[in-house]
Structure 1
């Protein structure tokens, strides 16, 4: 995706020097690690075919809720733009957001202790989410079970290649 990161970053920081680093994942969005003043953040340009304003606002609300819940785990927090927004709408309709960067790696469920610890974390997340004040007409999003409809370039070969790259 061609984009001008200077323009995007100017919505969050004025005259910032930054570096961008690619991430080894992401099928549907353009995601980069950005470093500004020795602080790392995630910048994500969402695929406009599957991410809507309603979906991004729900994501922001959920992460803010989980952060305030003082859980045993961390969640990325949306940075506010200079105008106080949680995201930017680009000229082409793409949505962009910056979040805090969480150091870590994918869990390796290589033994029973790690699996149990991961299960406890999933249980805590489920419990916390049961307390989220969901509205009756809440946004339900675009389902990923229709893999070949998430993007014009998501065909059988590209999806298979993506999943094979991250197979255990």
Structure 2
């Protein structure tokens, strides 16, 4: 049954031989499968977030623009179907795309060389995306316009969610702390609009990267690309480096910044804004998972875990805001 489900998409491509599905990991937002055909490997991605062809076409336009650039990392290459298009569709309207497999393995946050290399890769990605020219701005709002997307998720709505799910009731205090931070931060988000903006990936993390040995060689999953504050690209990654143990968190963040600054530097204003961007990313994640629960894509325990994680990271960032700004200034601003 599973193979028949994916055959609906795969049979739209000319792969030059019999194909088979190779067991492997799949993402949370989409369903992915590795496909083997002859001596070549591909990744099939089924889009579970939306059925908007324009969104996938934009992703593919950006990826094709990146392929034309001389850059030190690999990015996904969409495979054309028999008719020359790059989007496959099932009878019920679900969309999918096939990409050339990038050889390597998933990097680990426990390996300092991977953290440092991911810093370099993020800087190289920002330099590359700063050079692409795509006229369509995309369907996704910049992070700082979070209320354009989630404005309907008021305190009363969140309290109703708490009342309906015992798992959320257990973390109600943390959810309300996040909601309080959201309300207090709205004026600060307005100032973010003055920072340098460009195309960003918006979801770089260790599961969206490919490593060979100590080096990051590929970056994946460009689905959420949008024009936004460019420093948000760093904030998204740094979130994953804020470990439970303080010393480890500082070591990992410093290591990432060291890798990043070898290729690119930020402005003083960007480094000062990074803690706010980290908290904004976490609030966006929580509200995203609130939406997923309402759409029955996850159960309440998934949201409860996200609330705990996001509250921990926001609290830590708030307590260490000045220290973080100093670290970012010392490591990311060009010294004259």
TM-score of the aligned structures, taking structure 1 as reference length: 0.80
In 2, Cα distance between equivalents of 1:124 and 1:51: 31
**Residue of structure 2 equivalent to 1:100:** 100
Which secondary structure does the structure 2 equivalent of 1:4 belong to?
Answer: helix
- Contact kept in structure 1, 2:65 and 2:133, CA below 8 Å: no
**Residue of structure 1 equivalent to 2:132:** 132
Distance 1:87 1:160, change over 3 A: farther
Distance 1:6 1:149, change over 3 A: same
What are structure 1's unaligned runs of at least 5 residues? 163-168
1:147 aligns with 2:289: yes
Which secondary structure does the structure 2 equivalent of 1:58 belong to?
Answer: helix
Encode CA deviations 1:69-88: one digit per residue, 9 max, x unaligned.
12111111000000000111
In 1, Cα distance between equivalents of 2:303 and 2:74: 29
Structure with more helix by fraction: 2
In 1, Cα distance between equivalents of 2:30 and 2:125: 24
What are structure 2's unaligned runs of at least 5 residues? 142-148, 150-283, 307-336
Distance 1:148 1:155, change over 3 A: farther
**Residue of structure 1 equivalent to 2:123:** 123
Distance 1:52 1:103, change over 3 A: same
**Residue of structure 2 equivalent to 1:165:** none
In 2, Cα distance between equivalents of 1:134 and 1:63: 11
Q: C-alpha displacement at 1:117, in angstroms? A: 2.3
Q: CA RMSD in A?
A: 2.7
**Residue of structure 2 equivalent to 1:30:** 31
In 2, Cα distance between equivalents of 1:112 and 1:24: 23
Q: C-alpha displacement at 1:50, in angstroms? A: 2.9
Which secondary structure does the structure 2 equivalent of 1:120 belong to?
Answer: helix
**Residue of structure 2 equivalent to 1:166:** none
Of structures 1 and 2, the one scoring higher in RCO (CA 8 A, sep 6+) is 1
Q: C-alpha displacement at 1:105, in angstroms? A: 2.1
TM-score of the aligned structures, taking structure 2 as reference length: 0.43
- Contact kept in structure 2, 1:148 and 1:154, CA below 8 Å: no
- Contact kept in structure 2, 1:78 and 1:86, CA below 8 Å: yes
In 1, Cα distance between equivalents of 2:67 and 2:84: 18
In 2, Cα distance between equivalents of 1:30 and 1:155: 17
Q: C-alpha displacement at 1:156, in angstroms? A: 2.9
Encode CA deviations 1:109-136: one digit per residue, 9 max, x unaligned.
445544332211100101111112142x
Q: How many residues align?
A: 160
